[in-house]
Every structure is written in structure tokens, then in C-alpha cells.
Amino acid sequence: MARKPYVEDAENHERWLISYADFITLLFAFFVVMYAVSVVNESKYRVLSDALGSAFGGSAAVGRPAPSAQVAPPIVLPNLLARRRAEALRRERERLTALARELSSTLAPLVKEGKVRVTQNSRGVSVEINASVLFDSGDATLTADSREALAALAVLLRNDPHALQVEGHTDNQQIRRPVFPSNWELSAARAGAVVRLFADAGVPPARMTVVGHGDNIPVASNDNVEGRARNRRVAVTILSALPDTTTEIPAR
């Protein structure tokens, strides 16, 4: 029997396309996975994980709810600046209260006679001295007795760091003298005399201010002798910024 001639199959030159297609598919799958990993959404990730587990024979997480996004409670930081300011005000109030008590004790005889008042308010500590203790009528020269009392006051104030404001006040009786044309000049001159004594006693001049109010800030009625006497005064105020309260410090 005659043998059939061997016919060689024709070579397929496009077989490489199958391998190329497989490679492209794997590369696409790789980039999809990389993208999914870069933007992980936990709930979607769990769905995908369960689906893959079921597809490859694993057990899906049945009935396991996706964790809900929990918002962290806001962190309330204390206002350190406000706390420090409140603490500084508290310490200053205590210092001023101690100073007011010391001033009231030093001037106790005059406080008991009603010629000196020591008060603490929003401006600081104020020592209000009746003008009759310090000056003769219509004059701005300190008397000998007043110098001793003011020197004792200066001893307490010269080492205190607060600013001082010395204010002169008069009654509404007009004065017309060559040296004091009006109550403005008289009140300012009396406050200036107290400041000069304080400076001579060692109180730094840069801490002190002189103010003359004349008869514009009365504390009593000018319709009677007692009221006018009370309105003639010099007030020495140790200045400070504190809440607006007023407390009279009694003599001990």
C-alpha cells in the first residue's frame, strides 16, 4: 500500500497574541488592585473581601455590620491665657487688700476720727484724706502735723510697684486770690504738695500723677458746712485694674 505523504501544518504566526492578551489582562487586574488599595473604603473593602472569599471557597463574613464612622469628641482645651489672667488678678487683689489693711492700720487714729477713709474698688486702693488734716483754709502748704502722717504713708508706698494718682478736691465756695484764681488751681496745688512730700520720702516720681478736680466731684452736699468740709479732700489712689467692687476697710 502506498504511504500517504506527510503534510506539515502551516505555521501560525499570530499565536503570540494569546500570550499578549493574557499579559495585558493580568496587568490591568494588577492596576485595578493597586488603585483599589490606594483609595480604601472600609465598607466597600469588606464587601469585596466577602465576595472574593465566597468565590474562592472561603467563608463570607455574614451578618457582620460595617463599622460606622465614629466622630471623635471635640477636645476642649482650657483657655490658658484667661486662666493666667484670672490668677494674676486674684493675686493682685490679695496684694491690694493686704496693702489696704496696712494703710488703714497705719492711719487708724485718723480713720477712727472720720478724717481718713481707706477703700478698695475697681481702680485700686484709695486713701481719702480730709483737707483740714493737711492744709489751712484756702492754703496749699502742708501743716507740720500732716507731714508726719503723710511720711508714714510714703514709707508704705515707696516700695510698692503700683502707679499712684493724687487727686485734689475742693468745695463749691469760689476762691479768688492772686496765687489761686479758682478752685482748679487750689485743688491741683494741694495734690502737688502731697506728691512733692512723697517724692522727698523716696516714692519714685515716675509712678505718680497729679490731678486737680476743683469742686466737680463732690462726695457730699455743698449745701451745709459738714458736706463742704468732706468735699475738701485729697485722695491718694494706688491704681490697679480690678472688677468694680467697693469695700471700706475698717480701722483695727
Q: Is residue 180 part of a domain?
A: yes
Q: Which residue has the higher pLDDT, 168 or 91?
A: 168
Is the predicted pLDDT of residue 151 greater than 80, yes or no? yes
Q: Is residue 74 part of a domain?
A: no
% of the chain beyond a pLDDT of 70: 74
Is the predicted pLDDT of residue 40 greater than 90, yes or no? no
Residues 94 and 51 in one domain: no
Residues 168 and 231 in one domain: yes
Give me the CATH number covering residue 118: 3.30.1330.60
Q: Which residue has the higher pLDDT, 125 or 121?
A: 125
DSSP string, 167-228: EEE--S-----SS-SSHHHHHHHHHHHHHHHHHHTT--GGGEEEEE-TTSS-SS-TTSHHHH
Distance, in Å, from the CA atom of 138 to the CA atom of 174, rounded to the nearest integer, reads 10
Residue 138 φ then ψ, to 5°: 70, 15
The DSSP element (H or E) to which 23 belongs, if any, is: helix 16-38
pTM for the full predicted model: 0.63
Confidence of residue 26 (pLDDT cuts 50, 70, 90): confident
Q: Is residue 71 part of a domain?
A: no
pLDDT at 74: 55
pLDDT at 145: 87
Closest CA to 119 of 43, 28, 219: 219
Distance, in Å, from the CA atom of 203 to the CA atom of 167, rounded to the nearest integer, reads 16
Residues 132 and 243 in one domain: yes
Is the predicted pLDDT of residue 217 greater than 60, yes or no? yes
Query: In the numeric block, which cell numbers belong to residue 82?
Result: 484667661
Residues 230 and 115 in one domain: yes
Confidence of residue 72 (pLDDT cuts 50, 70, 90): low
Domains: count for the chain: 2
% of the chain beyond a pLDDT of 90: 45
Mean pLDDT, the chain, integer = 82
Q: Is residue 75 part of a domain?
A: no
Strand-pair category, 208-212 with 116-121: unpaired
The residue from 31, 55, 79 where one domain ends is: 55
Q: Is residue 67 part of a domain?
A: no
Which domain covers residue 240, as residue numbers? Answer: 90-248
Please give the span between the terminal C-alpha atoms of the chain, in angstroms, as a whole number: 150
Residues 183-189, mean pLDDT to the nearest whole number: 95
Residues 94 and 30 in one domain: no
Residues 61-84, mean pLDDT to the nearest whole number: 59
Query: In the numeric block, which cell numbers belong to residue 252?
Result: 483695727
Residues 128 and 210 in one domain: yes
Residues 6-20, mean pLDDT to the nearest whole number: 65
Q: Is residue 63 part of a domain?
A: no
pLDDT at 43: 66
Residues 49 and 138 in one domain: no
Q: Is residue 80 part of a domain?
A: no
Residues 40 and 94 in one domain: no
Is the predicted pLDDT of residue 45 greater than 70, yes or no? no
Residues 167 and 235 in one domain: yes
Confidence of residue 64 (pLDDT cuts 50, 70, 90): low
Q: Is residue 60 part of a domain?
A: no
Residue 245 φ then ψ, to 5°: -135, 150
Residue recorded with cell 503570540: 16
CB 198 within 8 A of CB 154: yes
pLDDT at 20: 78
Confidence of residue 9 (pLDDT cuts 50, 70, 90): low
Distance, in Å, from the CA atom of 223 to the CA atom of 231, rounded to the nearest integer, reads 11
Confidence of residue 1 (pLDDT cuts 50, 70, 90): low
The residue from 38, 55, 72 where one domain ends is: 55
pLDDT at 42: 63
